[in-house]
Structure 1
């Protein structure tokens, strides 16, 4: 599948002519005016703009809370007094199939979020460790996706020609491929050991083309600016021009894309765990907890509501923060 070239995809070819990034594409051989690339706002200016946005501040606060839970999970669980793998048979009624004793799913001073029906495991402890699993997988997949997407996007956008053709065709293939079906098939066939690493690799394989396509277009635009051409004319190597002259000018674009990618990866991990091909029990996962709660939600709705609410708020926070960050960069508030 080929995409019609945009103004950002007009690149300089080795012989000095200007043409679109795809051979034989629309506008091939034409001459286009130099694109104007906005200055990259500094981190300090972006932060000053975001901290005056109440929605962005609330999102950052919640994300910070989840990060603290993930980092200090063992300490937090020790304070609560229950391990995420520990069964408390005294908190459930065996005569009713393991329904938690007490109101609201067994919420009490001993079990702050209640207990898991059927097993009596502490929901608070599993929520805390589930935050660690979700954040580690999502952030690791985001980091790997960012490295792959940025690298291939820079190479395709700057060097053009056959490099661009190969990278673009790979991106087209992966973006058109039914990723979810392939993930389910691969994860189902592979052994359960070290499932978190497999999730990171599989998610990243299908995630990097979306960032690479944006980076490619921006690279084509920035590479036509005078300071980049001057660096090439002075004898700087292609790698040095790409990573020291072009990449710093794409920082804001990459940050915005990464912020918007994290909630998608959190949701993907939760969805795969919900389908039974993600994190393997007894390792806690929010998606896995939601899947386990399906048969109990009419009896113990809190078991479904608590992990669902944590997952919803985390995805919402990253999504809103990404939108606010994109608005700051696009509107020039940070400058």
Structure 2
């Protein structure tokens, strides 16, 4: 598990080169290129399905007939330690993906609400990471000097710090209440330096361009130059990094929940479900396979989509 998604490590030079190129051919528009790619369309479809499922979670579980916290003791065999009745982990018309061994809770309902938890944490962490990374990257790259030195030292410290150990220690010492907010905060603290480093490098390059010199000569303030002239030229970089960051943060949340320092029971979490399935894997493998498959496919879909987005906005970046 890594705090910095692979996408955050894309080179600033290649992104800067791609950002400076505006395709003249409408067929080369990034959105058109992505929609013409079957793999990207399949990833978008799966991501859209999971997002829709998470947004409409109360309605979805109402249709299925079971909530994420309801116990169905009739679906498990107490004489065998709570093993689900029937084949394939208790999959039936009543429980579409089976039930949890020992408790009888509906796996489908927990998958639906687990998707909501994972996406909310990942998207919130990505948003906070983007705000911090873009702000500090712009400040360091444009102002330079002591400002750049201070921000750069903080970035280097956070990037070199054993983030996973720190996150486990901090989250273990915190109360279980509002754990999702703590997850967002801790993940963002260690995530923003990777984006800030890219933004800093590109800002240092852009501030020497002719359009910035022209704005400066016309009397534009520093704020106007940074947010009106430079920031719009960083949209491609930010889009690529955001797309790559989401799967990393989904995996981070799942990993922390698996280790027992993320979301705590009874809050639904895919990582927590995978951790609970370890002791049941030999007798009820579906309890591990169902959340594991949903998690793996969602992370894979975001990563593949991120690669396609990067290829669309930066044609020279993937070979």
TM-score of the superposed pair, with normalisation by structure 2: 0.92
* 2:144 counterpart of 1:160: yes
Query: CA-to-partner distance for each residue in 1:59-118, whole Å, 9 max, x for gaps?
Result: 111110111011000000000000000000000000000000000000000000000000
Change (3 A) 1:37 1:123: closer
Alpha-carbon distance between aligned partners in 1 of 2:161 and 2:66, rounded to the nearest angstrom: 44
Q: Does 1:146 align with 2:152?
A: no
- For the 8 Å contact 1:144–1:204, the answer to whether it is kept is yes
> Are 2:41 and 1:54 aligned?
no
Q: How many residues were matched structurally?
A: 303
Structure 1's consecutive aligned runs of 4 or more residues displaced over 3 angstroms after TM superposition are 39-44
Could you say what the CA RMSD is over the residues aligned between the two structures, in angstroms?
Answer: 2.0
- The yes-or-no answer on 1:45 pairing with 2:29 is yes
Deviation track 1:282-322 (CA, whole Å, cap 9, x = no partner) reads 01000000000000011000000000000000000111111
CA contact (8 A) 2:207 2:230 kept: yes
Name stretches of at least 5 consecutive residues in structure 1 with no aligned partner. Answer: 1-5, 9-34
TM-score, with structure 1 as normaliser: 0.87
Change over 3 Å in CA distance of 1:37–1:290 after alignment to 2: closer
Match of 2:205 among 192, 212, 221: 221
After superposing the two structures, state which structure 1 stretch, 100-109 or 317-326, moved more: 317-326
* Contact map agreement 1:41 1:329 (CA 8 A) in 2: no
Q: Contact between 2:19 and 2:234, CA under 8 Å: does it hold in 1? A: no
Aligned pair partner of 1:197 in 181, 185, 188: 181
Matched with 1:69 is 53
Alignment of 1:295-310 (within 5 A): 295-310=279-294
Larger radius of gyration: 1
d(CA) in 2 for partners of 1:201 and 1:251?
A: 24
Q: Where do 5+ consecutive residues of structure 2 fail to align?
A: 1-10
Superposed, 1:225-236 pairs within 5 Å as 225-236=209-220
Residue of 232, 239, 243 corresponding to 1:259: 243
> What's the offset of the Cα at 1:165?
0.5
- 2:90 counterpart SS class: coil
Residue 187 (1) aligns with residue 140 (2): no
Contact in 1 for aligned 2:66/2:109 (Cα 8 Å) = yes
Which residue matches 1:207? 191
* Structure holding more helix per residue: 2
Higher relative contact order (CA 8 A, sep 6+): 2
